Amino acid sequence: MKKLGFFLVSTASLALAACGSNEADTLNETQAQNMESEALNNLAAEAANAEIEALGNQQQQLEAENTAASNAAETVGDNATSPSEVEDDVQGM
């Protein structure tokens, strides 16, 4: 009878120990998943910030080109002769 009692107690303790270790593994897996998701979120945020910076630089470059082009158009407009002056020169020949 003592052997049967000892067998039942040892089996129960092994079963409880096995169940308890599964919970600890599940907790560790959850923590690992949280760390991985945080790392992915950080990478995504860094990529988004880099994209925003690149678009801002592109916008500044386009604005500078537009300003330079409008200044060049004004310079050409100031230096060009009017069509009436050209017609007068041609008719005077």
Of the pLDDT bands very low, low, confident and very high (cuts 50, 70, 90), residue 82 is low
CA–CA separation, 5 and 62 (whole Å): 86
pLDDT at 51 over 90: yes
Mean pLDDT of the 17-31 span? 63
CA distance 42 to 34: 12
Gap between the terminal Cα atoms of the chain: 136
For the segment 30-50, the average pLDDT, to the nearest whole number, is 89
- Cβ atoms within 10 Å, residue 34: 10
Instruction: Give me the residue spans of the domains in the chain.
Output: 33-73
Length of the chain: 93
